[in-house]
Protein backbone atom coordinates (compact mmCIF):
# COMPACT_ATOMS: atom_id res chain seq x y z
CA UNK A 1 0.00 0.00 0.00
CA UNK A 2 2.76 2.45 0.81
CA UNK A 3 3.96 2.21 -2.80
CA UNK A 4 0.58 3.33 -4.09
CA UNK A 5 -0.50 -0.16 -5.16
CA UNK A 6 -4.13 -1.02 -4.55
CA UNK A 7 -4.69 -4.13 -2.46
CA UNK A 8 -7.02 -6.96 -3.44
CA UNK A 9 -7.79 -9.60 -0.82
CA UNK A 10 -10.45 -12.10 0.04
CA UNK A 11 -12.37 -11.72 3.28
CA UNK A 12 -10.22 -14.29 5.08
CA UNK A 13 -10.06 -14.35 8.85
CA UNK A 14 -7.09 -12.64 10.42
CA UNK A 15 -7.79 -8.94 10.46
CA UNK A 16 -7.57 -7.88 6.82
CA UNK A 17 -10.95 -6.18 7.23
CA UNK A 18 -9.36 -3.92 9.87
CA UNK A 19 -6.67 -2.82 7.42
CA UNK A 20 -8.48 -2.64 4.10
CA UNK A 21 -11.29 -0.13 3.71
CA UNK A 22 -13.19 -1.19 0.57
CA UNK A 23 -13.04 1.37 -2.24
CA UNK A 24 -10.65 3.52 -0.20
CA UNK A 25 -7.32 1.72 0.08
CA UNK A 26 -8.14 -1.61 -1.51
CA UNK A 27 -10.84 -4.07 -2.35
CA UNK A 28 -12.14 -7.21 -0.66
CA UNK A 29 -13.95 -10.05 -2.38
CA UNK A 30 -15.88 -12.96 -0.89
CA UNK A 31 -13.81 -16.07 -0.24
CA UNK A 32 -13.78 -18.46 -3.24
CA UNK A 33 -15.84 -16.05 -5.36
CA UNK A 34 -13.58 -15.85 -8.39
CA UNK A 35 -16.10 -13.95 -10.54
CA UNK A 36 -16.20 -11.20 -7.93
CA UNK A 37 -12.39 -11.23 -7.80
CA UNK A 38 -12.21 -10.79 -11.58
CA UNK A 39 -14.69 -7.90 -11.45
CA UNK A 40 -12.57 -6.20 -8.78
CA UNK A 41 -9.37 -6.67 -10.80
CA UNK A 42 -11.06 -4.86 -13.67
CA UNK A 43 -12.24 -2.15 -11.25
CA UNK A 44 -8.69 -1.70 -9.95
CA UNK A 45 -7.45 -1.13 -13.46
CA UNK A 46 -10.18 1.47 -14.02
CA UNK A 47 -9.83 3.27 -10.65
CA UNK A 48 -6.06 2.77 -10.24
CA UNK A 49 -5.07 6.45 -10.05
CA UNK A 50 -7.70 7.41 -7.47
CA UNK A 51 -6.97 4.38 -5.28
CA UNK A 52 -3.23 5.03 -5.47
CA UNK A 53 -3.58 8.69 -4.47
CA UNK A 54 -5.71 7.76 -1.46
CA UNK A 55 -3.19 5.14 -0.32
CA UNK A 56 -0.25 7.50 -0.68
CA UNK A 57 -2.04 10.17 1.37
CA UNK A 58 -3.12 7.74 4.08
CA UNK A 59 0.29 6.12 4.56
CA UNK A 60 2.51 9.18 4.13
CA UNK A 61 5.59 8.79 6.36
CA UNK A 62 5.23 12.26 7.91
CA UNK A 63 1.59 11.62 8.76
CA UNK A 64 2.42 8.28 10.39
CA UNK A 65 5.29 9.80 12.38
CA UNK A 66 3.08 12.60 13.68
CA UNK A 67 0.49 10.02 14.78
CA UNK A 68 3.17 8.06 16.66
CA UNK A 69 4.40 11.30 18.28
CA UNK A 70 0.85 12.06 19.40
CA UNK A 71 0.45 8.59 20.91
CA UNK A 72 3.77 8.87 22.76
CA UNK A 73 2.89 12.35 24.05
CA UNK A 74 -0.49 11.14 25.30
CA UNK A 75 1.06 8.14 27.03
CA UNK A 76 3.70 10.28 28.74
CA UNK A 77 0.95 12.46 30.25
CA UNK A 78 -0.79 9.56 31.97
CA UNK A 79 -0.66 9.78 35.77
CA UNK A 80 0.09 6.32 37.13
CA UNK A 81 -1.04 6.41 40.75
CA UNK A 82 -0.29 3.00 42.20
CA UNK A 83 -0.34 4.17 45.84
CA UNK A 84 -3.71 3.60 47.44
Mean pLDDT of 7-23: 80
Residue-wise pLDDT for 33-56, tens only, equals 999 999 988 877 666 666 667 667
Average pLDDT, the chain: 75
pLDDT of residue 25: 75
User: What is the value of pTM for the model shown?
Assistant: 0.48
> CA–CA separation, 34 vs 31, rounded Å?
8
Tell me the domain boundaries of the chain. 7-76
Residue 83 has pLDDT above 90, yes or no: no
Cβ neighbours for 74, distance < 8 A, ≥ 6 positions apart: none
Q: Is the dihedral angle over the CA atoms 54, 22, 2, 35 positive or is it negative?
A: negative
Amino acid sequence: MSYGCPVLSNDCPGGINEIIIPNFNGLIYSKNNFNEMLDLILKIDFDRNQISEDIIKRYDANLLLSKYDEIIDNDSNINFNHNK
